[in-house]
Amino acid sequence: MKKQRIYIAFSLLLSAWQGGAEIAVEEDHRVGVAGIPVVFYTPETSAGLGGGLTLTFPRGEPEDHLRPNSLQTFGLYSLKNQYMFFLSPEVHSPDDAWRFRPIFMFSYYPDTYYGIGRDVSKDDEEDFTIETVVIRPQLLRRVYSHFNAGLFMKWKRTDVIEIEDDGQLARRDLPGVDGSRFIGMGPILEWDSRDQLFYPTRGGWYRITAEFYRDWMGSDHDYEQYSLDLRHYLSVRERHVVAGQLYAAGLSGDIAFNEFAQLDSMRGMPGSLYRDRCMAFAQIEYRFPLYKRLSGVTYISAGDVMNRWSDFDPGELKFAGGAGLRFQLNPRDNINMRLDIGVSSEGVFPYFRMLEAF
């Protein structure tokens, strides 16, 4: 069985490396077709398999440098019986100033709940399964140079399918444990000066969002969420990159138990362990070449959750770090398969996925 799993993973890597194809639809215009088989592993999902398909529809002439319209879809399944289906078209206006991207997603996700706050215990671990449907249209306009602004709307339905009989969730006194409907909207502000989409070597991507969910919109929960995501990339020499990220999220109002901000992007920290109304973390990563398509990274991170921002205490910070390898599947677009080993006081955790962590 172990050999069979290795063979499947290797076959998927080769398939992804071979790239896509083109279908001629008109003279000098081609539809790009790319199939992406995927194998992955994270502590939250265990091993998993999936596949995706991307169609790109070029616009104008090559010298116009217009971003193509596209359609992306993929499905994933993990050995923990988690599965997800995702569909997202992206359409641009003729002058490339507007970008419309609706997202449709369905997931069935066995997960773990420990409680709320920074002082939870692994002894309080309990499993639950949640089914989620999301529809999220988003409209962005290029305002100036690298600056974009827009608006999104979100409809989300969650149903808690399974809970443990003797756990916290079984008492049914937590918001959202009987399922919820979320309807909201909010603004998006972003600055994107990255030189590449999948493997930036310079520039930055800075994004601010605000989400407002109100009962008069039809939402079961009346609350708001604000998030800040700052990413910057610095090329220190050829193929040597220092990447940094600062992320913070804050929620207030009537929040469902599964919607609290989680410390789930720190490699080396169990993603479902810590959750609360406020969360912040920072990470820095050094990326360097090793041999041909093979490269390496080292990284460190620190973060915490809290009920209020005023509860922030440097002495309560959680730390993680680690190292990893990258194999370049697609040299043209710099798409990598990555293997990371993250370490924290909670243990040692492997991650095997496509694309960079940030």
Q: List, in sequence order, every residue forming a beta bridge with 114; answer none if it has no partner.
A: none
Q: What is the structure's pLDDT at 51?
A: 85
pLDDT tens digits, one per residue of 47-62: 898 888 888 888 877 6
Mean per-residue pLDDT for 202-224? 97
User: For the residues of 35-96, what is the DSSP string, one character each?
Assistant: EEEEEEEETTTEEEEEEEEEEEE--S-GGG-PPPEEEEEEEEEETTS-EEEEEEEEEE-TTS
> Does residue 354 have a pLDDT over 90?
no
And the tokens for 125?
């671990």
**pLDDT score at 217:** 96
Mean pLDDT of 323-337: 87
Identify which of 50, 29, 32, 33 has the alpha carbon closest to the alpha carbon of residue 41. 50
| Predicted confidence (pLDDT) per residue in 4-46, tens digit | 433 333 333 333 334 444 444 444 457 777 777 778 888 888 8
Dihedral angle over CA of 166, 78, 295, 262, nearest 10: -30
Identify the three-state secondary structure at position 268.
coil
Handedness of CA 275, 271, 184, 204 (dihedral sign): positive
Q: pLDDT band at residue 68, thresholds of 50, 70 and 90?
A: confident
Mean per-residue pLDDT over the chain, rounded: 88
Rounded mean pLDDT, 131-140: 97
**pLDDT tens digits, residue range 238-249?**
899 999 999 999
For position 221, which CATH number holds? 2.40.160.50
- Cβ neighbours for 183, distance < 8 A, ≥ 6 positions apart: 154, 155, 156, 213, 214, 217, 218, 219
pLDDT of residue 20: 44
Q: Which structural domain, as residue segments, surrounds residue 183?
A: 2-354
Residue 179 has pLDDT above 90, yes or no: yes
- Tally of domains in the chain: 1
Instruction: Give pLDDT tens digits for 240-293.
Output: 999 999 999 999 999 999 999 999 899 999 989 999 999 999 999 999 999 999
Q: What is the pTM of this model?
A: 0.85
Mean pLDDT on 70-90: 91
